[in-house]
A = this chain, B = another copy of it.
Amino acid sequence: MKAVIILSGGLDSTTLTYDLKNQGYDLFAISLNYGQRHKKELKMAKRTCKKLNIPHKIINITSLNSVLQGSSLTSPNIDTPHGRYDEENMKSTVVSNRNMILLSIAAGYGISIKAEKLFYGAHNNDAAIYPDCRPEFVNKLKETILIADWHRIELEAPYLYMNKIDIVKRGKELNVPFEDTWSCYEGKETPCGKCGSCVERAEAFKLANMIDPL
């Protein structure tokens, strides 16, 4: 079955890519360059697609930043907050309506190639801080996408009720090369170990009794 996957190059979407490939989906990956500091994730996405022999599109949508709220993920003037995801300061990492924009574009791609499914790797831990990762948002968006075109494409977020630890464990079962995934929000050579994304990743590996190859 033909399916589009939004592949950021992070741990969640990369694991999901391996998962779906393993299930036999005919995958088409799309990555969005929205001016994130952590562009390294796009290189990781490219590497994964090459390894798995998946067609890959990287779309530059940085032109949108002139109308979207300054986020610490895209603005060099705002420091990346350190600490846990559930803290108030993490809200500066929100890019206005980011997921809906990414999903609309990916749905357009899926409609163009007549894919039947559109996958993305939202999970349970994200929902606390990102409104557009909540199950009610995902479900409503799914209903909207189903009637956006004469061609029906179903949005699926299979990890929506899993947490990061579950995903790390799932990745281990699938032999996902975690060194090909990038989580850190800082744009440096090695992970900072302090941002919300690094902290979450480290905790997940620890609780899963695994060692992060990065």
Contacts and interface: CB of A to CB of B under 8 A. Distances in A.
Given A140-B143, A144-B141, A147-B131, A78 B60 contact: yes
The quantity of this chain's copies bound in the complex is 2
A98 B55 CA distance: 23
Given A59-B66, A144-B144, A98 B108 contact: yes
Interface stretch (A14-22, A81-89, A158-166, A174-182): A81-89
A107 B97 contact: yes
Interface string A96-140: 111111011101110111100000000000000001101011001
Given A100-B144, A107-B97, A63 B61 contact: yes
Contacts of A143: 140, 144
A203 interface: no
Contacts of A134: 147
Contacts of A209: none
Interface stretch (A67-75, A183-191, A192-200): A67-75
Given A96-B109, A140-B147, A60 B63 contact: yes
B141 A64 contact: no
A44 interface: no
A111 B94 CA distance: 11
Nearest to A92: B112
A181 to B, nearest CB: 20
A64 B67 contact: no
A137 B150 CA distance: 12
A104 to B, nearest CB: 4
Interface of A: 28, 30, 55-61, 63-64, 66-70, 75, 77-79, 81-86, 89, 94-101, 103-105, 107-109, 111-114, 131-132, 134, 136-137, 140-141, 143-145, 147-150
